Amino acid sequence: MDLLLQVMAALRNPDGGCPWDLEQTFETIAPYTIEEAYEVEEAIQNKDYASLKEELGDLLLQVAYHSQIAQERNLFSFQDVVEAISQKMVDRHPHVFGNANERDADTQTAAWEKQKATERLKKAKAHGNDSVSRLDGVAVNLPALMRAEKLSKRAARAGFDWPDTNGVFDKIDEELLEIKEEIAKSSSDFLDRTEDEVGDLLFTVVNLARKLGVDPEVALRTGNRKFEKRFRHLEQTITEVEKATPEELQAAWVKAKTETAGS
């Protein structure tokens, strides 16, 4: 870490540093931070562990980058970041670092959530707010599917949930019906109202994934990869896709599904 921090400091040094690096701010670097996190996830999905090592390095660089900018502004240092996260992990694991004796997974999950709720209240009070919502701390800029899952999990922990998946399926049927009703109306605000109803449907589907123990973000990425693989195969079968009949496209799609299965 010392070497990385030295490299980062040199890149940001006004006397002989890199002109591009010197121009960067928290805001301009943030998109790269998000991109690097996704590249870590992609390497894991591909089981490409050589790339994973490299991508983790790229992600670590982002932490060093933000910390260097913060230090230049006298906000905090990399050491402050390390100490803060270390203390947080100690506080959230009393069964490891403290005197708590309960170690089963369910007990620890409950304790973890209780500790995070305490931290959210402490943060709210630091900003002059004496109340805290169970939904506080769910980042607004998360991918929509991921944020929907986190919001619904928070609500479910408070007891706001269906008892089983049957209720979710009923809700999906209800949302589909409301979309069909909006289509039938063809009102002047059709797009806005339909967008609203489609959003409700997607949110409910995310809840179905949660009830089934499926990560919706991962599931959709898998679906995207599957569709891409099948469509590329279809393009090899039908070179002029735009000129193909619906029947030809359907036959090629079924063939693509069969021939790419398991690959």
Q: Tell me, what CATH number does 246's domain have? A: 1.10.287.1080
What does the pLDDT read at residue 240?
Answer: 92
Q: Of 25, 60, 92, at which residue does a domain stop?
A: 92
- Say if residue 127's pLDDT is above 80: no
Note every long-range contact of 87-91, with CB atoms under 8 Å and residues 24 or more positions apart, other chains counting: 88/119, 91/115, 91/119
Q: Per-residue pLDDT tens for 160-195?
A: 999 999 999 999 999 999 999 988 887 778 888 899
First CA to last CA across the chain, in angstroms?
Answer: 40
Between the CA of residue 121 and those of 90, 93, 109, 254, what are the distances in Å?
A: 18, 19, 18, 54
193 in a structural domain = yes
d(CA 216, CA 121): 29
Angle at which helix 78-92 crosses helix 105-126, to 10 degrees, equals 130
d(CA 57, CA 250): 44
Token pair of 63 as six digits: 């932490």
Q: Of 92, 120, 153, at which residue does a domain stop?
A: 92
Yes or no: say if 253 and 234 are a contact pair by the CB < 8 Å rule. Answer: yes
Q: Is the dihedral of CA 229, 234, 237, 240 positive or negative?
A: negative
Q: What is the mean pLDDT of residues 198-211?
A: 96
Counting Cα atoms < 13 Å in the Cβ hemisphere of 107 gives 8
131 in a structural domain = no
* Counted domains in the chain: 2
Q: Per-residue pLDDT tens for 241-252?
A: 999 999 999 999
Same domain, 148 and 88: no
Same domain, 63 and 164: no
Q: Which residue segment(s) compose the domain that 169 sits in?
A: 144-260
